Amino acid sequence: MKNLAKEINACLKVLQQGGLILYPTDTVWGIGCDATDEAAVQKVYALKNRDDRKALICLVANDAMLERHVENVPDLAYDILDLSTKPTTIIYDAPKGVAKNLIASDDTLAVRVASDKFCRNLINKFRKPIVSTSANVSGEPSPRDFQEISEAILRGVDYVVNLQSEQLNSLPSSIIRLANDGKVKIIRE
């Protein structure tokens, strides 16, 4: 518990300064930053060598934070989240209060309510959503565990969370597109 608090505090300092963290999420090891800081989000795209037209996922701590960053959360979203048996990312219309370069060209944002204790505590303390993208260079396979993370990624972040012994799901989240017009599309199961 003491180690968890120490790691959260170290991450907070980096996030508040616009830096990048490498951290265990509720799915895979992820690269994160302040989701409201356009310059920090750009650093993530640069580190991953990823086209900034390919949107990134944003993690929030709870439903209240989700509602602060999405214009209209459809009721169906709560049902999907309640019934999901694995971490689920939902793509919403009309995001707000996040970095412009985090929003897809069709004015959508992929958001996941974190189920992991470390992530929820970090985001709650930070009081803002954080970016979550797999810890790999674009086009390379996502690392299944910490040992598979490339040197380029390890060197490119400002802080690496020291919780390598934690067991991760090691599978990406499900992704569902939930439009305000009621259309539902499963992007990744």
The DSSP result for 87-126, as a single string, is: -EEEEEESB-SS-GGGS-TTSEEEEEE--SHHHHHHHHHH
Does residue 143 surpass a pLDDT of 90?
Answer: no
Q: What is the pLDDT of residue 38?
A: 96
Question: Would you tell me which CATH number, out of the four given (3.90.870.10, 3.40.50.1370, 2.60.40.10, 3.30.360.10), belongs to the domain 2-188?
Answer: 3.90.870.10
**What torsion do the CA atoms of 160, 36, 109, 45 make, to the nearest 10 degrees?**
-50
Domain spans in the chain, listed from the N-terminal domain onward: 2-188
The pLDDT value recorded for residue 183 is: 86
Show the CA angle centred on residue 148, arms to residues 110 and 145, nearest 5°.
65
**Percent of the chain, pLDDT > 70?**
95
pLDDT band at 65; cut points 50, 70, 90: very high
The identity of residue 90, as a single letter, is I
pLDDT in tens, 8-43: 999 999 999 999 999 998 888 999 999 999 999 999
Calpha distance 24→21 (Å, rounded): 10
Question: Residue 86's closest CA among 170, 185, 14, 149?
Answer: 170
Residues in the chain: 189
Distance separating alpha carbons of residues 132 and 137, to the nearest angstrom:
14
pTM over 0.95: no
- Mean pLDDT of all residues in the chain? 90
Residue 156 in this model has a pLDDT that exceeds 60 = yes
